[in-house]
Amino acid sequence: MLDAATAAVLIAMALALVRALRGPTVFDRIVSVNAFGTLTVVLIAVHGFLTGRPEFLDIALAYALITFIGIIAVTKFVTLTPGMQPDRKDDEGDL
């Protein structure tokens, strides 16, 4: 059963990687890289459970924190750098 979960996580990681490479905007790419990082944390945790080594959960938590800080930094960089944001034609407000 956990082998199926591992396969499902790997498929989802592949789909997130495809979205990161083909995303039409930089924000789509940021979200897909965040999803890839989250799925990596899940994969590390499942691997730790399968091998019976609970220290992999500590590694997964550290990786989750590093991924979170990295995504926040990249998002800040993209939003504050002129010319990095996509042109919006419908700038009438948020829906």
| Integer Cα distance of 13 and 77 in angstroms | 25
User: Is 94 a residue whose pLDDT tops 60?
Assistant: no
- Count CA atoms closer than 13 A to 86's CA, side-chain side: 10
57 neighbors 47 (Cβ within 8 angstroms): no
User: Is 89 a residue whose pLDDT tops 70?
Assistant: no
pLDDT for 88 equals 61
